[in-house]
Chain A
Amino acid sequence: MGEALGLAVGLVLSGDADLLQIVLLSLRVSLTATAIACLVGLLIGALVAIGRFRGRNAVLILMNALMGLPPVVVGLLVYLHLSRSGPLGFLGLLYTPTAMIIAQAILITPIIAALSRQVLEDLHAEYAEQFRSLCLTRWQTVQALLWDARYSLLTVGLAGFGRAVAEVGAVIIVGGNIDHLTRVMTTAIALETSRGDLALALALGIILLVIALGVNAAVQAVRMTAARQAYV
């Protein structure tokens, strides 16, 4: 264990090319998935937050339930759609980074939607009368809420990214953990651990932790700056 740790640190410090490729692919897949999930999830969150429609409670329950989607189930569903005999098989996306992005985006969109809905609904309770007095359109209201909740939504996005980058079940099914093509940090850790290459697994584990800590610290710093200006 101590030996493996030493090797792992060495690997990280040496800037090993394979390692770097895995890390960069991980970031590309998860950041893209987070961006897509934010685009869709924030819009859904905002519309449900300000909407008063029949079946709203059912939608809320569904959104909360979908937050707990098991990654392997999402992976399986995406697999069934993208596999050659599936409805989207002709796109040839199975075992590509795009397939992994799709799976992760589906996994975290409900998280973004549900968490942002709560944030935006609280903010709307504060702003609603003022907005009605100004005769804002629904779209103007959504825009204003999204902008004024920007620092809280950063945390929401972070929660989504954290879940995406740490997830292994969905990407291993639709990505296949192909070396130099679809191997990301989590799938590599799983593989190398089972193969007994603990140094590489640990090195990746360290990097994953550092990324998680780093992103959290950065978001926290931004939020604290914003809080000093009463923008949170």
Chain B
Amino acid sequence: MSDAPAMTSMNLALEGRAAALLPLTVRDLVLRVDRATVLDGVNLDLGASGCTMIMGANGAGKSLLLKLLHGLMPPTSGQIRWGDHAPSAVTARQALVFQKPVLLRRSVAANIDFALKARGKDMARREALLDHVGLSHKADQPARLLSGGEAQRLALARALATDPEVLFLDEPTASLDPASVLAIERIVSEARGRGVRIIFVTHDIGQARRMADDVVFLHRGRVAEHTAAASFFPEPHSDAARNYLSGTIVV
């Protein structure tokens, strides 16, 4: 995790903004979907900066947890607080990149414009955003004809267009080739470097090692452990995480 740097006034402004959203506290979070208990008492505290990786087996509840944190749906019970705010009150200060990018039936450029316009941002930033994710040369092409990696980079650019203070990523690189994975990771790392709080769901242990400051391991709707990356990978505390890590290495 980053040590406190000497703060310039700009840093102060950014920290001041982020300070309003973080820390995140989650208490006794329960979510039932169709009578099935998907999240069963999640407790979690996330600090002001860095990249938190959320891991866990398929069906552990990672995607639904992200949606709750982002304020897209209400929990059955329990509490989520971003600083003093309820999630749905701060959705507009966050962005979420879905596993399967939901691209509009428009050009690449128009997909960026859509997000800029929706959040009332400066439309002139489109060029810079496309350039940032290496899609300038595709600006006029239909978004839905992009390759998987390009589509996800566009989704990421669209998320960044909204100037999020928190960026959620839900398995954004599943089914991408290694070069595309690294391209996505570079962009996310760059955002993290600018002070964007990253909350990243992945199944890719290599990716988690490369990106994580800390790891939250979900198991059967609960947090099995929340550990700094440096100690999670060599020696996870929970049986669930240990089995998961060794299982994935064996397979």
Contacts and interface: CB of A to CB of B under 8 A. Distances in A.
Given A130-B98, A133-B96, A229 B72 contact: no
A148 B118 contact: no
A127 B106 contact: no
Interface string B51-67: 00000000000000001
A148 B142 contact: no
B68 interface: no
B91 A133 contact: yes
Interface residues of A, number: 17
A134 B119 contact: yes
Nearest to A126: B102
Contacts of A16: none
Contacts, number: 47
A148 B107 CA distance: 11
Contacts of B67: 129
Interface size class of B (residues with CB under 8 A): 20 to 34
A136 interface: yes
Nearest to B117: A140
Contacts of B91: 132-133, 135
Contacts of B143: 230
Interface of A: 126-127, 129-130, 132-136, 140, 144, 147-148, 229-232
Given A132-B91, A136-B118, A147-B106, 10 more contacts: A129-B72, A130-B102, A134-B119, A148-B105, A229-B142, A229-B144, A230-B142, A231-B105, A231-B106, A231-B144
Interface of B: 67, 70, 72, 91-92, 94-96, 98, 102, 104-106, 114-115, 118-119, 142-145, 162
16 contacts: A126-B102, A130-B98, A133-B70, A133-B96, A134-B114, A134-B118, A135-B92, A140-B118, A144-B104, A144-B114, A148-B105, A229-B142, A229-B144, A230-B142, A231-B106, A231-B142
